[in-house]
Amino acid sequence: MENMVKIGKPGEGKNTEEKVTDSAEGSCPETGRQEPVSSERDSVILRELRKLRQEHAEAADDNKRALPGEGKNTEEKVTDSAEGSCPETGRQETVSSERDSVILRELRKLRQEHAEAADDNKRALARLENNMKELMERTTSLEQKAEYMEERIGNTENRTTRLERSAAFLLQRTAKLSVKCDDFESRLRRNNIRIHDIPEGAEKNDTIGFVTGLIKSKIKITDDMVIRIERAHRSLVAKPKDSAAPPRAIIIRFLDYKVKEYVIRQAWKQKTTYERQTIYFNQDYTTEVQRKRKQVRDVIKKLKEKDVKAQSPYPAQLKVFLDSGTKTFSTLMEAAPIKVMHYLFN
């Protein structure tokens, strides 16, 4: 009776194994009879509980969590079994046996559920490991590609730098060659003269004879000067379709540079007309020189409106006659900071 009171008392610090053992060794106080069958079943229950505890511990370590409430329920079931082994009112052995059987079935079912959960966890971990492996392989592949791309980008940047240096060098070289070519072309045109505003078709089919007679009749030259013209033709632009459009210039090439210079200087000193139309003699400049001289002529025109005398020496210089003296500038940019711009904009 004393053992039975200890088992049924709530809050006892003993574990489940001690409770079941005491219940198995106790006897019924009314009959004084041993219960070996119940003791054997309790031993089986103890073994099952130990296995269950071990599986719980392993599952807790694997999953880092414990199943809530199972240990408490198991202890309550075992406690009920121990209490049922010795009823005060004379319960029969079959009741205890049925309870033990229920406990065993429940424990086995619980073990089976735990085993299935463990298998599921293992399969999930296996899938996770496979996914991690695939991710690692993809990460490694991406790292290799990134290294390859970085290498290619570095090579491309180095090549771009070399190409930029080469392009800068070639641009400088091209600029120098362009200046040389322009100077060479200008030297080839040193013996040429352009005559403007002669009507289209006036030369007919003999341009050299027409120009020779024009110079001799309109320009004051000495009688002993021999005019030898190598070539003469209209400028190579398209013939204007509109009769009101300005005619093309006639380009003349002299064999003697001195004769050419004498003719153009005499033409500049006098006013020359053809069929009551004023004609103009000019140097045969290259396209680039003509563009620069046009800019200078626009400046000279504005200076003359301000009563400032100016000229444009070859190739496209600006010569200004100021009160303080004569100033010559190679380009318009050189003349910008000084008094010339003051005359233009004031």
Picking from 63-77, 110-124, 209-223, 284-298, which range would have the lowest pLDDT averaged per residue? 63-77
Query: Which residues, listed in sequence order, are joined to residue 192 by a DSSP beta bridge?
Result: 253
Mean pLDDT of 52-69: 61
Looking at 232, 264, 284, the residue that finishes a domain is: 284
Q: What is the pLDDT of residues 35-54, one digit of tens each?
A: 555 567 667 777 777 777 77
75 inside domain: no
Q: What is the pLDDT of residues 83-142, one digit of tens each?
A: 444 444 445 567 667 777 888 888 888 888 888 888 999 999 999 999 999 999 999 999
Query: What are the Cα distances from residue 291, in Å, to 26, 288, 296?
Result: 128, 5, 9
23 inside domain: no
Picking from 91-95, 188-192, 219-223, which range would have the lowest pLDDT averaged per residue? 91-95
Q: Which residue has the higher pLDDT, 228 or 99?
A: 228
270 inside domain: yes
E strand map for 237-324: 250-254, 272-274, 277-283, 309-311, 318-322
Residue 78 has pLDDT above 70, yes or no: no
Q: Are residues 205 and 237 in the same domain?
A: yes
Long-range contacts, stretch 200-206, CB < 8 angstroms, 24+ apart: 200/234, 200/239, 200/240, 200/247, 200/248, 202/274, 202/275, 203/232, 203/234, 203/250
Q: Are residues 335 and 295 in the same domain?
A: yes
Query: Which residues, listed in sequence order, are joined to residue 250 by a DSSP beta bridge?
Result: 195, 234
222 inside domain: yes
Alpha-carbon span 251 to 284, nearest angstrom: 7
Q: Are residues 177 and 217 in the same domain?
A: no
Quote the number of domains for the chain: 3
Going by the DSSP 8-state scheme, the letter that residue 249 receives in this structure is P
Looking at 156, 189, 222, the residue that finishes a domain is: 189
Residue 337: partners with Cβ closer than 8 Å, 6 or more residues away: none
66 inside domain: no
Residue 77 has pLDDT above 60, yes or no: no
Looking at 189, 212, 247, the residue that finishes a domain is: 189
Of 55, 53, 104, 58, which Cα lies nearest the Cα of 78? 104
| Contact indicator for 18, 6 with CB cutoff of 8 Å | no
pLDDT at residue 251 in the model: 96
Domain that holds residue 305: 288-345
Query: Which residues, listed in sequence order, are joined to residue 279 by a DSSP beta bridge?
Result: 272
Residues composing the chain: 346
63 inside domain: no
Confidence category of residue 3, pLDDT binned at 50, 70, 90: very low
Q: Which residue has the higher pLDDT, 234 or 47?
A: 234
Alpha-carbon span 127 to 56, nearest angstrom: 23
pLDDT at residue 320 in the model: 86
263 inside domain: yes
